[in-house]
Amino acid sequence: MDVKEFVKGPGQIFHVHEGKRTITIAYMFLGPKGHSTEVRYGASIHRKDTPQDAWVRKEHNKTAVERCMKKGITIDTDGYHRHALHEFIRKQLYKHGCCADGPTEMFC
């Protein structure tokens, strides 16, 4: 599934800018929309170490979607609203990492 199909279908993508890092998170609800609290997500993290480092939105969107679809992490959101949901998923990166390769793979 490519990024356009993911966003038109079951998924959403959002970005978080924190200092030198830009985090791209792709997520989708498992089950019928509005009736499920389980979310699967995948993420990509870019760190700008030098002025030449450039964050390329298309590449990071694609990586996050691939991680979500192939080795996404499933979490229970317990009814968070959209803005709070984004923050909740963002905080899960420290606990679960970017993909299902385990907590040691924060920047997989």
> Residues 6 or more apart from 11 whose CB is under 8 A from it?
26, 27, 28, 65, 68
Pairing assessment for the beta strands 21-29 and 73-76 based on DSSP bridges = unpaired
Q: Using one digit for the tens of pLDDT, what is the confidence trace for 39-52?
A: 999 999 999 999 89
Q: Using one digit for the tens of pLDDT, what is the confidence trace for 4-50?
A: 999 998 899 999 998 899 999 999 988 776 677 889 999 999 999 99
Per domain, the residue ranges of the chain are 3-105
Q: Using one digit for the tens of pLDDT, what is the confidence trace for 73-82?
A: 999 888 777 7
3-state DSSP call for residue 63? helix
Q: Using one digit for the tens of pLDDT, what is the confidence trace for 59-108?
A: 999 999 999 999 999 998 887 777 788 899 998 888 888 887 654 444 44
Output the pLDDT for position 104.
43
3-state DSSP call for residue 80? coil
* pTM of the predicted protein model: 0.85
